[in-house]
Amino acid sequence: MRRIILLFATILLPAALLAADSNQKKQVLTGQSAFTDAAHESPGVRRHLTAADLPAPAPDQSVDNGPTVVPRPKDAWPQAPKGFKVELYATDLDNPRELRTAPNGDIFLAESETGKIRVFRGVDAQGHPQQVSVFATGLHQPFGIAFYPLGPNPQYLFVGDTDQIVRFPYHNGDLKATGPMINIAELPGGGRLRGGGHWTRDLVFSKDGTKLFASVGSHSNVDDPDTHPEEYHRADVLEFTPTGKFEKVYAYGIRNCVGEAINPITGELWCSTNERDAIGNNLVPDYVTHIQEGGFYGWPWYYMGPNGGVWDPRHKGAHPELQSKVITPDVLVNPHFASLEMLFYEGAQFPAEYKGDGFAAEHGSWNRAQRSGYEVIRIPMKDGHATGEYEDFLTGFTIGDGDVWGRPVGVTVGKDGSLFVSDDGSRSIWRVTWVGK
């Protein structure tokens, strides 16, 4: 009789509780088992890398293994954990990059190569947008998007161009800019990767709306700012007022904070960060972390270690006074993942245990023998703080460990709680919903 009662109790448990129970029992890969490649990424697998797991530098392992992006095969589709459904929301886009959701639920997209901001409204019966519009053109490699003031009735849309912060007048429901673009602040100029500098500039306002944080990636892989003036105010998060007045370098030594987000519980600034290349197959891990005001994260002289900073062999002996100041990030993801936009899930559609967790897009490796990244990861949180683990959430963008058809860039949450993912490999936006089956 007791067995029958337990069986009925299990049947009657809400789906969210069942999912939470399953979540608690997930195996976490640690140590050397936590290193992975795209062929072994699978929805629901958790990993926990620590600084103690990192190998010694091995520059001889460095490879140029950039991806060959091919059209999506007919049978290829992103894979999510059980209970989630993935739909193709929009495609044939022009270099879709960062996504942000307006207070009224419209989805804003930066199409960086063509200098456009596009807007998507609603979801029709086929899972596609009900309306699409170009909000603005003529931008210079736009990436970051932020609405201001915070809350339900913004007055402006801020955009992080590669060399400036601009704003447009904006009110809920605007599908096109109703006024001219105004430059409010200059930023160090962009360039291109592989010698040209990191060009993305993300923007986010502090929780109280008094500070505007702009992330600026390094101009190089490991050039010493002491002798390379082009690195001035780069590899930093810069703090401005909402009117564009520069206040200070908020945090430094962050090689490329591509994605910024504010933790809704703690109010802390977080960064999804690309670390350096060319010192080993499993060095240096990319990371997702909260950012301490005035904090130093190592670049270019150090990277994270179990007891403070580990000297990058290319800068051995430089700035010994900084070694003890190197902050170890909260969540180490696999090396060369190219971690891009991130967010904290505040929707109500996903199961309850997802509330407050982070998501980050991993664009994919080029400096690794085994192709890795090319996925969206989940970052488990507890009371607003990271556990140190991360979980494969949306995978399947590669053909084994060879060619690549998709490269996740942006993540945002729709008003209905669904997760939208931009993918500049297939030039698409994907929509992930919880169906509970």
Let me know: does 393 contact 403? Beta carbons within 8 Å: no
Residue 4 confidence (pLDDT) above 60: no
CA distances 432 to 88, 194, 217, 421, Å, are 9, 33, 30, 8
φ, ψ of residue 26 in degrees (nearest 5): -65, 140
Confidence of residue 191 (pLDDT cuts 50, 70, 90): low
pLDDT at 311 over 70: yes
**100-127 as b/e: b if 16+ CB within 10 A:** bbbeeebbbbbbbebbbbbbbbebeeee
Q: Would you state the torsion angle of the CA atoms of residues 84, 90, 95, 101, taken in this order, to the nearest 10 degrees?
A: -70
What tens digit of pLDDT does each residue of 266-299 get?
999 999 999 999 999 999 999 999 999 999 999 9
Confidence of residue 11 (pLDDT cuts 50, 70, 90): very low
Given a cut of 80, whether residue 1 has pLDDT beyond it is no
> What is the C-alpha separation between 283 and 118, in angstroms, rounded?
37
**At which residue do the structure tokens 């993935």 appear?**
86
Arithmetic mean of pLDDT, 380-385? 97
Those residues whose C-beta lies under 8 Å from the C-beta of residue 151, and which sit 6 or more positions away, are 103
Give me the pLDDT at residue 151, please: 97
* Alpha carbon distance 373, 364 (integer Å): 4
* Helix extents (H) in 93-144: none
- Identify the pLDDT of residue 190: 67
Burial 262-300 (b: 16+ CB within 10 A, else e): bbeeeebbbbbbbbbbbbbbbbbbbbbbbbeeebbbbbb
pLDDT of residue 233: 97
Q: Is the pLDDT of residue 20 over 80?
A: no
- What pLDDT was estimated at residue 194? 63
- Contacts of residue 413, defined as CB under 8 A and 6 or more positions apart, other chains included, come to 101, 343, 345, 346, 347, 419, 420
206: buried, middle or exposed (CB in 10 Å: 19+, 13-18, 0-12)?
A: middle
The band of 80, judged by pLDDT with boundaries at 50, 70 and 90, is very high
pLDDT band at 25 (very low <50, low <70, confident <90, very high): low
The predicted pLDDT at position 400 comes to 80
Per-residue model confidence (pLDDT) at position 364: 97
Under the banding of pLDDT at 50, 70 and 90, the label for residue 197 is confident
pLDDT at site 402: 87
Cα–Cα dist 330/139, whole Å: 34
Q: What is the pLDDT of residue 290?
A: 98
Work out the number of other CB atoms within 10 angstroms of the CB of residue 260: 25
Which has the closest alpha carbon to 32: 57, 54, 12, 10? 54
Is the torsion defined by CA of 85, 88, 90, 91 positive or negative? positive
- 414-436 residue pLDDT tens: 999 999 999 999 999 999 999 99
- Give all domains of the chain, ordered by start, each with its CATH number: 13-434 (2.120.10.30)
Specify the pLDDT at position 195. 57
Q: Would you state the torsion angle of the CA atoms of residues 111, 116, 119, 123, taken in this order, to the nearest 10 degrees?
A: -40
Selection from 71, 140, 147, 70 nearest residue 110 by Cα: 140
Tens digit of each residue's pLDDT (9 = 90 or more) over 336-376: 999 999 999 999 999 999 999 999 999 999 999 999 999 99
Considering only CA atoms, give the Rg of the chain.
21
Residue 389's SS3 state is: coil
pLDDT of residue 26: 79
Q: Measure the CA–CA gap between 267 and 263, rounded to whole angstroms.
A: 5
Question: Does 393 score more than 70 pLDDT?
Answer: yes
Section 207-233 average pLDDT: 97
List pLDDT tens digits, range 85-130.
999 999 999 999 999 999 999 999 999 999 999 999 999 999 999 9
Neighbour-count burial for 71-94, b at 16+ CB within 10 Å, e otherwise: ebeeebebbbbebbebbbbbeebe
